[in-house]
Structure 1
Amino acid sequence: MRKVSISILFMLVSLTWGTTWLAMRIAVETIPPVFAT
């Protein structure tokens, strides 16, 4: 049971960090620096 919960939490953290990275990458490419602040 402990290994399953650790695996689920690891996948959740990885998914959260991955989507945050993707959003930042899209923002850097599309939003001008003046509006990003």
Structure 2
Amino acid sequence: MHEKGFYEMRLTMEFPAGVKKIKTFLKKLLFFFKKAVIFF
């Protein structure tokens, strides 16, 4: 297996996981922001 194929395979495996992490992080941030707005 050449390098390009390996990197593409790794990217397709890691990309959805990264998107999921970003989404959960944004949800937490939004939740915290809403609480802060209500608090202040």
Q: TM-score under structure 2 normalisation?
A: 0.67
Unaligned runs of 5+ in 2: 1-8
Give the number of aligned pairs: 32
Higher relative contact order (CA 8 A, sep 6+): 1
Identity, in percent, stands at 12
Distance in 2, matches of 1:20 and 1:11, equals 14
Rg comparison, structure with higher value: 2
Distance apart, 1:9 and its partner CA: 0.4
After TM superposition, list the pairs within 5 Å mapping 1:1-37 onto structure 2.
1-31=9-39
Unaligned runs of 5+ in 1: 33-37
Q: TM-score under structure 1 normalisation?
A: 0.71
